[in-house]
Structure 1
Amino acid sequence: MLLPGGEVDPGESIEQAAVRELAEETTLSADPADVSVVGLVLATETSAEPTRLTAATVVRAHTGAPAVAEPGRIERWEWFAPDRLPDVLFVPSARVLRFRRPGLPLPEGPFHRYDMTPRR
């Protein structure tokens, strides 16, 4: 299981990227003003890949119903209650989920976590 996400394009803010990626992957529409950055996760695994910096965002309002916009990558979108998450999670998604639900039994790992105060 994974959350919608992707890269920040040149010139974009994290909030703008979150809204664009949400639309590209789920067809949901949102306004960057309705997005809060609640934390950052800096992965510190040793690998040949570049270091991953993941921004955890919360979208407070959206329009539409989730639909698969990238059928080659995504099979379906599904809402889960926090206590009923699938056993297999994409590790960056699991780390992001812990910002909103710190008590969730999700994988730990070599990373640094930076909590942020969401703007109101």
Structure 2
Amino acid sequence: MRLVVFSLVFLLAGCTAWRPVPRASVGGPTSGPETVRLLLLDGRQLYIKKASTVGDSLIGRVENARVAFALTDIRRVDTQQPSAGKTRTATGVASGAAVGVGIAAALLALVALAAASLLDGIYGGS
């Protein structure tokens, strides 16, 4: 059961990747995704919730505090987007784990049947 839960969590987490948003799309008055990742010119990296651009600034929330950054201070804005490669990898790992569990269960059943047959032959069965 734990393997199934782990596989599902891994599968769901592996389906997105941080990708840069073109600079032109940051400058317009738009509401962004739930969370964006900012890389500022001074090297800081921040995760901003409920980000949107207003005029020449990007505003949003960091740990429930309102923040604003001048667009000229932002080197890059990334959003989480679907990643086909990660999804394929996660699906392959989850499928492989399920097949592995199935093979292990089948081998265990065969060993149990062989042991029962051997004991039946030794002790004469009932």
Q: TM-score range by the shorter chain?
A: under 0.3
Of structures 1 and 2, the larger Rg is shown by 2
Higher strand share: 2
Please report the TM-score for the alignment, with normalisation by the length of structure 2: 0.21
